[in-house]
Structure 1
Amino acid sequence: MKARQRQLRPLEGLWLAAAVVLLVASVGAVDKDKSYTIVGGGGTALRDFVSDAVGNATQDANYKGLYLPFYTVGTGAGQQGFLNNTYQYAIGDFPLSKKDYDSAQRPILQIPISFGPVVIIANLTPEFHASNTLQLSAPVTAAIFQGNITTWDDPAILAINPNLTKLQPPIPAGTKINVVGRSDSNAAAYAFSQWLAQASNGTWVLGVNKTLPTSPGVKVVTGGSNVTNYLLKTPFSIGYTDAYAGKKAKLPDAALQNEAGKFVRYSKANWTFPGVNITIPAPTADWSKFNLTNLPGDKTYPVVTTSILLTNNDLTGRETRGAAQKAVFGYLLGPAVQGAARSYEQFPLNNQFLNASLSAVNSIQVIESKDFFQADQLPKLGAPYNVNFQYN
């Protein structure tokens, strides 16, 4: 993608990242002397990915006069902004809750656009990280975050990390594990606690929550950047975050034990989910129970978020902006954006999800009689494709 075109500015006391771009090509239904604003908001883990994606749309030869701010207020705040019509769309790392879905008061669509790993990061010794990867199972991780395992030489940790016993210099006996968690609603906590609830064989007793409950000894901070800052500054610490934040902080992620019993780092995983039968809900359905946690497969990474676009199904009342929104959503599913996802530690949709998402975007009702995506324009499986954004 092109260099970022975004600005940071405060809004209601929060620092929000915005990709504010003027799209500069031809769209027949847009007045050449007018600009149309399409405002989105959502998850902080998606800030650069989505901001760069809408910025890159300026290079498309079929746009003109569209102004696309995307505010990273967090997934929950983005969803609420969409529901109360502050934003025309939202993108976040978990679906609407059942309560919010039932209270929407209008037909909406929930459309996947990418997959994102949640990582566990530990700050051990440079000697360990130089040649080893920490391995963690769900039962051991649950015990650490609940305060049942408190030192790095606990037998349960050493049983799956024998190299910890061979370090020179060794980690001192009884070295405390400094655990950090987040108090604010976040997608990482949601996926992380889902994994522990599903895979820890009953060890995890604190439930599934977007604000992860923790034991009294855990350091609690607000915001993902404070998690990585704590991990960087605190020896022998451990915490969870989205993979992009971990990569930017240059912190090594642990290999997590998946459903097949294999320890897998997200960068080595197979994100096409081969051979896995995944039921994708209808875009107008309740998605609150949907997750991709702990799926089978030797190379499957077990802690996964799904980035989900929220949009109104009926955009006929928005004149040319409705059709423009449909084009932008199609662009997010196109090869330029999907092909760049890995640069942001997101992973492109596999064929099953991609076709379901394209069909959902195709179903959006706009004032123009001709749909953007005709049947012969849908992608052929495994092949590059182009979508015609022109409308008249």
Structure 2
Amino acid sequence: MKLQRKNGLRATALGALAVTGALVLTACGSDDNTSSNGTGAGKATAASNISCEGAKGKLLASGSSAQKNAMDLWVKNYMAACSGVEINYKSSSSGEGIVAFNQGTVGFAGSDSALKPEEVAESKKICKSGQGINLPMVGGPVAIGYNLSGVDDLTLDAPTIAKIFNNKITKWNDPAIVKLNEGKSLPDKAIQAFHRSEDSGTTQNLGKYLGATAKADWPYEAEKKWPAPGGQAASGSSGVAAQVKQVDGAIGYFELSYATSQSIPTVSIDTGAAAPVKATSENASKAIAAAKVKGTGKDLALELDYATKAEGAYPIVLVTYEVVCDSGNKSDTLSTVKSFLTYTASDEGQKVLSDAGYAPIPVEINAKVRETVAGLN
């Protein structure tokens, strides 16, 4: 893709934000996907406004697979501009990324959910004079993808999704599904439900949605570990998407880019609004537009409204964070962490997301991210 100069970037990014109500979040991450507009994560162009001052050597990071495509773009553009600096982001899972961060083996971690209190407490052993904080960088809709021969348009609501993943609805022609899809021919076929095998922020965000909207049918705490009985497990969003893609009768959850790149149909959600809502970046933005910072001090964790019934608002959403020490970062990697995250939060870094089918963090929150990054020590 071709990166524009700073003024053009700012105008384009702000214009796009104005159109979408100041917050557009879209499909996050793929282990090997191209982006939804076909640009692909493999192309790198030296960005024009990256400051490499102080950056040096190798910086290791790991975590969320949801932000993998975005991270690939950022890393390649940054390394093209900053000769001699190597950024190595290992796509695993949010849970593994947090563990690595709290063990001190990475300079920052990617996570689809904010640090829990016990994880913050653990981080103080690594952040000698501070603690781990959450910096929102990108987010988007969590799609419910499915594979059902002859059915390319499917609507479900929260209780039905909960019952499917809780092994209470096991056939595609179950009356609850039929009622939500009047006039459509649904086969007498077993549902093959797939979930993440490892700790996952995407799992936790799905759990938050189901807990907020279908508590009677989803009596579990929203944790990164899959809580329900039955179903089949696969590793990473890429693994779940691969299973759904190849198994007729399958259903699973993953960031929208997996569905887009592999032509996997996605479920429209009946939220109680006038019409079912499709999983798109624009529709997710309507749900996330009211996000508020719930973190204290330098922590910028966001509070999302999973139970929204606003017209056209897609409710199953996530925001992906970079987790860093607010103070007490390792001296040998601090300058590189600050330089790289300054780029990812910049107009130019956020514009890369727009070009690749992602979208910027809202201006007001991103301004706080930039200020926090600048003050890391």
The TM-score bracket by the shorter chain reads 0.7 to 0.9
| Bigger Cα displacement from structure 2, 276-285 vs 102-111 | 276-285
Counterpart mapping for 1:132-171 below 5 A = 133-165=153-185, 171=186
- Name the aligned partner's letter for residue 247 of structure 2: T
| More relative contact order, 1 or 2 (CA 8 Å, 6+ apart) | 2
- Name the aligned partner's letter for residue 348 of structure 1: P
Correspondent of 1:109 among 123, 126, 133: 133
- Name the aligned partner's letter for residue 78 of structure 2: A
- Name the aligned partner's letter for residue 322 of structure 2: L
- SS, match of residue 84 in structure 2: strand
CA shift at 1:28, angstroms?
5.6
The alignment-based identity, stated in percent, is 19
Counterpart mapping for 1:209-358 below 5 A = 209-216=223-230, 218-258=231-271, 260=273, 262-267=275-280, 268-269=282-283, 271=285, 276=290, 278-282=292-296, 284-285=298-299, 287=301, 290-295=303-308, 297-314=310-327, 318=331, 321-342=333-354, 346-358=358-370
Aligned pairs, number: 335
- Name the aligned partner's letter for residue 56 of structure 1: N
Inter-CA distance 270–310: structure 2 relative to 1 (3 Å threshold): closer
- Name the aligned partner's letter for residue 212 of structure 1: W
TM-score normalised to structure 2 length: 0.77
- In 2, distance between residues paired with 1:175 and 1:262? 27
- Name the aligned partner's letter for residue 137 of structure 2: I
CA shift at 1:335, angstroms?
2.5
Tell me the equivalent position of 2:36: none
- In 2, distance between residues paired with 1:272 and 1:351? 15
- In 2, distance between residues paired with 1:40 and 1:349? 21
- SS, match of residue 242 in structure 2: helix
Inter-CA distance 292–39: structure 2 relative to 1 (3 Å threshold): farther
- Native 8 Å contact 2:204 2:225 kept in 1: yes
Inter-CA distance 335–294: structure 2 relative to 1 (3 Å threshold): farther
- Native 8 Å contact 1:38 1:88 kept in 2: yes
Residue 96, structure 1, aligned to residue 92, structure 2: no
Structure 1: runs of 5+ lacking an equivalent: 9-16, 166-170, 366-392
CA shift at 1:269, angstroms?
0.7
Correspondent of 2:144 among 117, 120, 142: 120
Residue 47, structure 1, aligned to residue 68, structure 2: yes
CA shift at 1:101, angstroms?
0.7
- In 1, distance between residues paired with 2:288 and 2:78? 31
- Name the aligned partner's letter for residue 267 of structure 2: A
- Native 8 Å contact 2:138 2:360 kept in 1: yes
Structure 2: runs of 5+ lacking an equivalent: 4-30, 33-40
- SS, match of residue 209 in structure 1: coil
CA shift at 1:235, angstroms?
1.3
Tell me the equivalent position of 2:10: none
TM-score normalised to structure 1 length: 0.75
- In 2, distance between residues paired with 1:103 and 1:19? 38
Correspondent of 1:183 among 174, 188, 197: 197
- Native 8 Å contact 2:114 2:134 kept in 1: yes
Tell me the equivalent position of 1:364: 376
- In 2, distance between residues paired with 1:75 and 1:20? 26
| Bigger Cα displacement from structure 2, 203-212 vs 257-266 | 257-266
- Native 8 Å contact 1:182 1:221 kept in 2: yes
- Native 8 Å contact 1:221 1:227 kept in 2: yes
- Native 8 Å contact 1:246 1:252 kept in 2: yes
Tell me the equivalent position of 2:57: 36
Q: Which has the larger radius of gyration?
A: 1
Inter-CA distance 137–355: structure 2 relative to 1 (3 Å threshold): same
Inter-CA distance 276–222: structure 2 relative to 1 (3 Å threshold): closer
Inter-CA distance 292–70: structure 2 relative to 1 (3 Å threshold): farther
- Native 8 Å contact 1:191 1:304 kept in 2: yes
- In 1, distance between residues paired with 2:289 and 2:259? 29
Tell me the equivalent position of 1:69: 88
- Name the aligned partner's letter for residue 89 of structure 1: F
- In 1, distance between residues paired with 2:320 and 2:288? 20
Tell me the equivalent position of 1:375: none
CA shift at 1:213, angstroms?
2.2
CA shift at 1:19, angstroms?
12
- In 1, distance between residues paired with 2:104 and 2:288? 39
- SS, match of residue 183 in structure 2: helix
